Structure 1
Amino acid sequence: MKTILVPFDFSPYAVAALQTAYKISHKSGAEILCVTVVPTELDWEFLSEEAKAKHSQVLDEYNEAMEVLPSYLRNIAPAKAPIKPIVKIGVPFESILQVAKEYSTDLIVLGAYGKGNGGVNFIGSTLQKILRNSPYPVLAVKELLDGNGFRKVGFASNFDPASKTAFERIKPLVKLFRASVHLVFVNTPAHFTNSIEVEERMNHFMKGFEELTFHKHVFNYSDPETGLEKFSDLHKIGLMAMVSGHHEKIPNYQIGTTETLVFQSDLAVLSIKV
């Protein structure tokens, strides 16, 4: 792992994301890109200097961020932390993903409201758009996830062939913290699958990952999101990794399992696309 990107808006949740990223960076040596975006719908990069000069408020906010961000990071991060401050102007999620592409980011770590703290406000937000549009793994955290938090990882899936490809993308993170991986299939009445079939899928999934420690679970619950919450509470898991679908063109008000788990739980959720 070489590069971790943290979208940074100076909120306590962004600070928690930065602290979490530093825990990963400290073990891996990865550089942290701390990205603050001055929001505007203007196509800023294609404006002439004369046109930009007409938008003094945007320029003022940009100059302020350029001045404040480095000093702010020095106050909250260890002195030798490999953090690169970046300030952009544009649509936040687009600017963040542009930077991620430019630096070939391995992981995006961002802050999310915890349960009971207005998480519903994130529907349609930058967080949701990054979850939906990022081709890179996205770790959404509500509070600092320290080294112990990484040592037990849940991996929720239906364990089809694509899930194995997705897991390969987070395998370096699992190995970095020598994590035990709890494979979990939430069996719901609406999509009931017999345990023998799930066991066969899991066994096939684990082939080629013999150096890792796995625990297999079939957990029966009425819906997958609450089932994953209850399973995590039962097994004291704070980080749940999930294979996410491609929902880029689905309306914001229609949210999938990954988004629902981020919005309604206090879990750290790692979203991975194939």
Structure 2
Amino acid sequence: MKTIVVPFDFSGYSLEALKTAQKISSKTGARIICVTVIPSEIDWDLLPEEAQQKHPELIEEKEEAMDILPNYIRMVAPAKAPIEPVVKIGVPYEQILRIAEHNKADLLVVGAYGKGYEEGKFVGSNLQRVLRNATCPVLAVKKALDGNSFRKLAFATVFDQAGKKAFEKILPLAKAFKTSIHLLYINTPEHFTNSSESDAMMAEFAKGHEQFVIHRHVYNHSDPDHGILEFCHANGINLVSLVSRVKSASSSYLVGTTETLIFKSDFGVLSLRVHD
């Protein structure tokens, strides 16, 4: 893992995301790009300098953010931590995705909610758009994840080839923290599978990864979302990974499940987006 991007809007949730990224960086050596976006419908990057001067209020906000962002970074990281502050102007999710793609980010770590969040709302629109469009894994947190939080990870998906592609993406993180991986199949009435079949499917899925501690679980529940929640609570797991599919006709855990878990739990939720 080489590069982590952290969107930072000075909210408490984004501070928890930065703390989590710093914990991952301390184990992997990854550099962190901490990016603050001044919201605007203007595509600032394409605007000539002369035209930019016609928006002094945006320039002032950017300069203020550039002044105070390093102070927040110093709150959570050692002086020599590999964290690069970046301030942009534009549509927040567009800038976040642009920076992640430009820097070939291995991971986005985001606060579950952002500035201006109101209690009782579902996840914010910027987070939804990042989850739905990021090409790298996205880890959403409400609370900073410490080393203990990375000791166990529940990987919930349909165990097929697309799921295996996503599984490969979590292995660098699992290796760094010596994480035990809990493969989890939620058996629902609509998509019922015999336990022996599910277990065999997961055993095949885990082949080739003998260097990791991998457990296999089939959990029966009428609802996938609540099944994952119950399983993680019962097993003391604070980090769950879900696979979302792009244009898939098969049964799968969609981004909607990811959003539900972020909303209903205090877990770290790692979203992995794959093409079938």
TM-score (norm 1): 0.92
1:64 positional shift: 0.8
Give yes or no for the alignment of 1:107 onto 2:85.
no
Distance 1:74 1:211 in 2: 36
Could you tell me how far apart the structure 1 residues matched to 2:271 and 2:255 are? Answer: 14
> Which residue number corresponds to residue 118 of structure 1?
119
Decide whether aligned partners of structure 1 residues 161 and 73 sit closer, same or farther in structure 2, where only a CA change above 3 A counts: same
Cα 1:130–1:236 change in 2 (3 A) is same
Aligned to 1:56: 56
Report what 1:209 is aligned to: 209
- Between the aligned partners of 2:203 and 2:79, the Cα distance in structure 1 is 45
Once the two structures are superposed, what CA deviation does each residue of 1:115-148 show, in whole Å capped at 9, x if it has no partner? Answer: x97362424x111110000010000011010011
Instruction: Tell me how far apart the structure 2 counterparts of residues 131 and 218 of structure 1 sit (CA, whole Å).
Output: 27
Please tell me whether residue 77 in structure 1 is matched to residue 77 in structure 2: yes
What displacement does 1:74 show?
1.9
Aligned partner letter, 1:244: S
SS of the aligned residue for 1:120 comes to: coil
1:55-98: CA deviation from partner (whole Å, max 9, x where unpaired): 12211111111111123322332222211000011111110111
> Can you list the C-alpha shifts for 1:138-167, whole angstroms capped at 9, x where unaligned?
000110100111011110011011111111
Report the count of equivalent residues: 266
- Partner residue in 1 for 2:193: 193
CA contact (8 A) 1:132 1:246 kept: no
1:113: Cα distance to partner?
A: 4.0
130-139 or 74-83, larger mean C-alpha shift: 74-83
- Tell me how far apart the structure 1 counterparts of residues 242 and 76 of structure 2 sit (CA, whole Å): 30
Contact 1:119 1:264 in 2 (8 A): no
CA distance in 2, matches of 1:207, 1:55: 57
- 1:251 aligns with none
Equivalent pairs: percent with the same residue?
55
Q: 1:107, 1:137 within 8 Å by CA — same for their partners in 2? A: yes
Structure-1 separation of matches of 2:48 and 2:109: 33
Task: Give the aligned partner of residue 231 of structure 1.
Answer: 231
Shift of 1:195: 1.3
Amino acid at match of 2:22: Y
Answer yes or no: is the 8 Å Cα contact 1:229–1:265 preserved in 2. yes
The answer on whether the counterparts of 1:16 and 1:143 sit within 8 Å (CA) in structure 2 is: yes
Give, in whole Å, the separation in 1 of the partners of 2:78 and 2:148: 19
- The structure-2 alpha-carbon separation of the partners of 1:85 and 1:166, relative to structure 1 and needing over 3 Å to count, comes to same
Alpha-carbon distance in 1 for matches of 2:178, 2:31: 21
CA RMSD of aligned residues (A): 1.8
SS in 1 for 2:4: strand
3-state DSSP class of the match of 1:13?
helix
Structure 1 residues 215 and 78: alpha-carbon distance in aligned structure 2, compared to 1, 3 A threshold? same
CA distance in structure 2 between the aligned counterparts of 1:52 and 1:267, rounded to whole angstroms: 41
Q: Give distance in 1, aligned partners of 2:120 and 2:138.
A: 17
The equivalences for 1:1-274 within 5 A come to: 1-113=1-113, 118=119, 120-123=121-124, 125-246=125-246, 256-274=256-274
Segments of structure 2 that go 5 or more residues without pairing to the other structure are 248-253
Secondary structure at the counterpart of residue 237 of structure 1: coil
- Secondary structure at the aligned position of 2:172 is classed as helix
What is the Cα deviation at residue 210 of structure 1? Answer: 1.0
Q: 2 CA distance for matches of 1:165 and 1:103?
A: 22
Q: CA deviation at 1:258?
A: 1.3
**Do 2:2 and 2:30's aligned partners in 1 also have CA atoms closer than 8 Å?**
yes
State the TM-score, normalized to the length of structure 2: 0.92
Contact in 2 for aligned 1:112/1:262 (Cα 8 Å): yes
Secondary structure, counterpart of 1:256 in structure 2? helix
Offset of 1:3 from its aligned partner?
Answer: 0.8
Aligned partner letter, 1:262: I
What is the CA–CA distance in structure 1 between the aligned matches of 2:179 and 2:215, rounded to whole Å?
A: 11
Residue 5 of structure 1 aligns to a residue whose secondary structure is strand
* Partners of 1:190 and 1:120 in 2: CA distance: 29
